[in-house]
Copies of this chain bind each other. A is one copy, B any other.
Amino acid sequence: MRQLIDKMFGAAFRNEWSEEQHDGAILPDVPGRQPVLTTDSFVVDPLSFPGGDIGTLAVCGTVNDLAMCGAEPKYLTCGFVIEEGLPMEQLWSVVCSMQSTAEQAGVQIVTGDTKVVDRGKADKLFINTAGLGFVEPGHAARPGRIQANDVVLLSGDVGRHGVVVLAARDGLGFETEIESDCQPLNHATRGLLDAGVEVHCFRDLTRGGLATGMVELAGTAGLACSIREAEVPVREDVRGACELLGLAPLYVANAGRFVAVVSEAHADRAIEVLRGLGGDHQPVRIGSFQAGRGGRVTLQTTAGSERILDMLSGEQLPRIC
């Protein structure tokens, strides 16, 4: 089985490093750039869902974490934990998703590892990816750079990924009409940075959704933040599915949505740039940071009231990514 898997990975991810069959990938130097390192494990259940599968997620998740630092993602590692008995065609399909998503993002999968465990000791397939990217010193986006009066831009509608995965898991009927927003975001972040937009921070809105992402950012930045609910796009079918599933769209995981925190003076330009990139981005200005209690995020609701947003309360949705 291991030999088969090695052949499979060798065929899909072929490049000069995988061909060297060494303990690690010795990569070219990138003078004047800082390395950026990140990792994520993926345990999504079910393995595939409308709009993607665990392989798409595993590449996008790590590519996007690098992009959120302002870095250009370059190289990925992948570690597979496989439950004995996983059909080989299912694994092959995931490996092909990884390779095509890597091509879409412009990254190479340079080294990996496979472990097989007995039936019943894992659930089909878990994937870890780590990513290495490089950032120009002036482009480094981080929570510590956020300032009062910075504007919060959201890259598009929220809530799709979580709803799609839960619906696919439970065999609900509406999943066919909604697709996950799973996509690499590095072309969007690069577009903004290359256009000279003064970006202070990016954050992709994965586990815990938009609300949790904003509370985390505000906490780390030591600033308050306010968000206008009416400006946050949620598709009607996603809103309906959330009601059915008992979810709040602002807390549902996304897989291809992010916020960009930009200086007030650059907000309009940022929206223009993102729109010009085409693709799935429909950027909107949803709020801003202000001096105030660090981590306090206020939602101006559509009903006209104000509400303090918390981290995801209650149980975190399990195995959504």
With a cutoff of 8 Å between Cβ atoms, the chain B residues found around residue A36 in the complex are: 24-27
* CB contact under 8 A between A71 and B26, given known A37-B110, A37-B111: yes
As a 0/1 sequence over residues 25 to 52 of chain A, the CB contacts with chain B under 8 angstroms (1 = contact) are: 1111111111111111111000000000
Contact at B23–A34, with CB atoms within 8 Å? no
Docked CA distance A65–B319 (Å):
30
> What residue in chain B is nearest A220 (Cβ atoms)?
B21
User: Chain B residue with minimal CB distance to A38?
Assistant: B24
Asked if A282 is at the interface (CB within 8 A of a chain B CB), the reply is no
Q: Interface with B: A85-93, A138-146, A152-160, A271-279, which one? A: A138-146
What B residues does A22 contact at CB under 8 A? Answer: 68-69, 142-143, 220
Residues of B within 8 A of A121 (CB): 122-123
Does A289 interact with chain B (Cβ within 8 Å)? no
Q: Check B37–A126 contact: CB distance below 8 A.
A: no
Q: Is the CB of B120 within 8 A of A68?
A: no
On whether the beta carbons of B23 and A38 are closer than 8 Å, the reply is yes
* Nearest opposing residue in chain B for A78, CB measure: B39
Q: Which of B29, B30, B31, B39 contacts A128 (CB 8 A)?
A: B39
Evaluate whether A20 and B66 lie within 8 angstroms (CB atoms) in the complex, with A38-B25, A122-B122 already known.
Answer: no
| A132 interface residue (CB < 8 Å to B) | yes
Q: How far is the CA of A28 from the CA of B137 in the complex (A)?
A: 10
Q: Say if the beta carbon of A203 comes within 8 Å of chain B.
A: yes
Which residue among A80, A121, A128, A319 has the maximum number of chain B CB atoms within 10 Å of its CB? A128
Chain B residue numbers with a CB within 8 Å of A120 are 120
Q: How far is the CA of A66 from the CA of B40 in the complex (A)?
A: 20
Contact of A318 among B30, B71, B116, B126 (CB under 8 A): B116
CB <8 Å contact, A25 and B37: yes
Cα distance A80–B123 in the bound complex, in angstroms: 15
**A81 in contact (CB, < 8 A):** yes
Number of copies: 2
Chain A interface size band reads 35 or more
In the bound complex, residues from chain B placing their C-beta under 8 Å from that of A35 are 27, 29-30, 35, 132
Complex-state Cα separation, A203 to B20, whole angstroms:
13
Contacts of A191 in B (CB 8 A): none
B128 touching A69, Cβ below 8 Å: no
Least Cβ distance of A123 to chain B in Å?
Answer: 4
| A78–B79 CA distance with the chains assembled, in angstroms | 11
Shortest Cβ distance from A142 into B: residue: B22
Interchain CB contact under 8 A, B113 and A39: yes
Q: Decide yes or no: A40 and B113 within 8 Å by CB, A122-B123, A128-B128 being known contacts.
A: yes
Instruction: Find the B residue at minimum CB distance from A31.
Output: B31
Q: Is the CB of B20 within 8 A of A144?
A: yes
A2-15 vs B, Cβ < 8 Å mask (1 yes, 0 no):
10000000000000
Which B-chain residue is minimally distant from A122 (CB atoms)? B122
Which residues in B have their C-beta under 8 angstroms from that of A123? 117, 121-122
Taken together as a complex, chains A and B put the C-alpha atoms of A222 and B64 apart, in Å, by 39
